Chain A
Amino acid sequence: MVSATYILDLFIGSFVLWSMYALLAIGMSIIYGILRLINFAHGAMLMVGAYFYIMFLSMGLDPITSLPLSMALGAVLGVTIDFFAYRPLRGGPELSMLITSLGVYIFLENLVRIIATPQPRVFPLPEFLKGVYRYGDFSVRVIEIFTIVLTLVLFAALVLFFTKTKVGIAMRATADDLEASVLMGIDANRIIMIAFALASMVAALTGFLWGGMYGQVDPTTGFMPGVKAFIAAVVGGIGSLTGSVLGGYILGYAEIYSVGLLPPEYSGLRDGISFLILIIILLIRPYGLFGREVERV
């Protein structure tokens, strides 16, 4: 018999996983919305972000300084990658950017392998996030609460940014119709830069949360989260922020509950379940839950 505490554990677990998938998926959605690019390299930005954090710590900085610095450096890297890898391809077929993003992923993973060795690194969690709260049988880690709260705050901030600020509204306009936004005096390259900076910064933060949750990182850490975030974004309707959040939730929930409630010998199926959800959703709603048909000219 499954106890109530166990269900609560699963609930927290799915909430945490949802947070991280949704954060990554939002980044992918922002970039897709504007560039129509499915950025496979986005998962690598999570991994690189985690390594940046470790790097700043090893330089003797404290965690409170290292986290924002790793996010800022992540943003710089995202913008740099756009400048050298994607910008020269703009106006060309969408497929060339897609393939390039796969190349960027492979490049980043191997670059980290060379610089930081392929060995997993211990991810040192700051003291204030190390604790565990216990209530009878039920326990929850501080990093889990931190992840959930931070994600909710970030969502609220992003919603405000995209609906209340001029730049945020301009970004949505650019995603809606790039040519028309240029006619309004918007510098599309600048908007794309902001999109990459924002998405990469959030990915670096997710890297910190991911490392904190699982205690270690290695150069391949970004791969599965990247794939899952892509699935979450597609399930929700890529390009839609609400869709990304919902897609992340469906995925996190399905993964944790399937592992938690199925017999242990089926736990290896957790990744397979994500793909199964993707296939089912795509069969029923090819544009995702919140997606709309992309107009082709």
Chain B
Amino acid sequence: MTLLDVKDLFVSYGPLVAVQGISFQVRKGQVVSLLGSNGAGKTTTLRAISGTISLVGGKVTGGSISFEGQEITKVPPHRRVRKGISLVPEGRKIFHRLTVYENLVVGGYTVKDFGDRLEFVYQLFPILKERRNQIAGSLSGGEQQMLAIARGLMSNPKLLLLDEPSLGLAPRVVDVLYDAISKINEEGTTVLVVEQHVKKALTHSHYIYVIQTGRIIASGEPEEVLSMDMVKAYLG
């Protein structure tokens, strides 16, 4: 079953067209990766799906985004969270001046079973429980990324969007994060992850799309995509 269906999507920042008619699908229960180099339009695509594109001066100028069969292009970003879409943004964007616990409270702003969600994310990242009263800005980079993912999970999303979760982190931390992502997926959450870290994405995804200058240039299951010569050349 298709959870997310992006059709012929165009996104612009003023005169600059960042995404030029991409189409892809995310099936329920899968981990799907969007791969591509810097500036390929990956972050813009996630912003369009989460609706926050309007907050950074961008606009969906064509195409459609459907979630669970419903067109959501016109739905304001905060309502998309209630529908079950949660974005863990690039650069983490945790609330630096709030404590770890308060970050999670805000993450669970829309849910009723706050206690259960808190238990779930503390189990996933026990370090956050230890640090719950610490100011979030004082956490290490890896811990901040864990907090960002935990916060994104508090709303009990059906679809978790992850924007470069491994960026700037030590390999050991990246392993921890991807193990957690697999666990989250096993618990039933569908994941769409944007990555430059090709190896991690390949070993942890069910399906892969390769995006270049705002267009999808290849797609398929990991082994399939990796064997394509042009993909090898592009991703290196």
- Give residues in A with beta carbon < 8 Å to B: 91, 166, 169-170, 172-173, 176-188
Task: Take A183-B52, A184-B81 as given contacts and tell me if A169 and B107 are in contact as well, using a CB distance cutoff of 8 Å.
Answer: no
Do A179 and B107 touch across chains, with their CB atoms under 8 A apart?
Answer: no
Do B98 and A172 touch across chains, with their CB atoms under 8 A apart?
Answer: yes
User: A188 — which chain B residues lie within 8 A by C-beta?
Assistant: 78
Contact with A along B92-131 (1 / 0, CB 8 A): 0111111000110111011000000000000000000000
Do B94 and A185 touch across chains, with their CB atoms under 8 A apart?
Answer: no
Task: Take A180-B95, A183-B87, A184-B151 as given contacts and tell me if A173 and B102 are in contact as well, using a CB distance cutoff of 8 Å.
Answer: yes
Complex CA gap A178/B95 in Å reads 10
Complex CA gap A172/B97 in Å reads 8
Task: Give the size of the chain B interface in residues (CB under 8 angstroms).
Answer: 31
- B155 within 8 Å of A (CB atoms): yes
Q: Give B103's nearest chain A residue, CB to CB.
A: A173
Complex CA gap A185/B98 in Å reads 17
* Total of A-B residue pairs, C-beta within 8 Å: 72
Do B98 and A176 touch across chains, with their CB atoms under 8 A apart?
Answer: yes
- B56 within 8 Å of A (CB atoms): yes
Task: Take A178-B55, A179-B55, A181-B106 as given contacts and tell me if A173 and B98 are in contact as well, using a CB distance cutoff of 8 Å.
Answer: yes
Do A182 and B89 touch across chains, with their CB atoms under 8 A apart?
Answer: no
Task: Take A185-B78, A185-B81, A187-B78 as given contacts and tell me if A179 and B106 are in contact as well, using a CB distance cutoff of 8 Å.
Answer: no
Do A166 and B78 touch across chains, with their CB atoms under 8 A apart?
Answer: no
- B86 within 8 Å of A (CB atoms): yes
Which of B89, B93, B95, B107 has the most chain A CB atoms closer than 10 A to its own CB? Answer: B95
User: A170 — which chain B residues lie within 8 A by C-beta?
Assistant: 106, 109
Which of B76, B78, B110, B154 has the most chain A CB atoms closer than 10 A to its own CB? Answer: B78
Contact with A along B149-161 (1 / 0, CB 8 A): 0011011000000
Do B52 and A169 touch across chains, with their CB atoms under 8 A apart?
Answer: no
Complex CA gap A108/B94 in Å reads 39
Q: Which of B78, B87, B94, B96 contacts A186 (CB 8 A)?
A: B78
Do B106 and A184 touch across chains, with their CB atoms under 8 A apart?
Answer: yes
Complex CA gap A182/B55 in Å reads 9
Write 9 A-B pairs (CB below 8 A) sorted by A numbering. A91-B57, A169-B102, A177-B93, A183-B86, A183-B89, A184-B107, A184-B109, A184-B110, A185-B155
User: B76 — which chain A residues lie within 8 A by C-beta?
Assistant: 187
B98 to chain A, nearest CB (A): 6
Do B109 and A183 touch across chains, with their CB atoms under 8 A apart?
Answer: no
Do B106 and A186 touch across chains, with their CB atoms under 8 A apart?
Answer: yes
Complex CA gap A177/B107 in Å reads 13
Do A185 and B82 touch across chains, with their CB atoms under 8 A apart?
Answer: yes
User: A177 — which chain B residues lie within 8 A by C-beta?
Assistant: 93, 95-96
Task: Take A172-B97, A184-B106, A186-B106 as given contacts and tell me if A179 and B52 are in contact as well, using a CB distance cutoff of 8 Å.
Answer: yes
User: B98 — which chain A residues lie within 8 A by C-beta?
Assistant: 169, 172-173, 176
Q: Give A292's nearest chain B residue, CB to CB.
A: B97
Do B93 and A180 touch across chains, with their CB atoms under 8 A apart?
Answer: yes
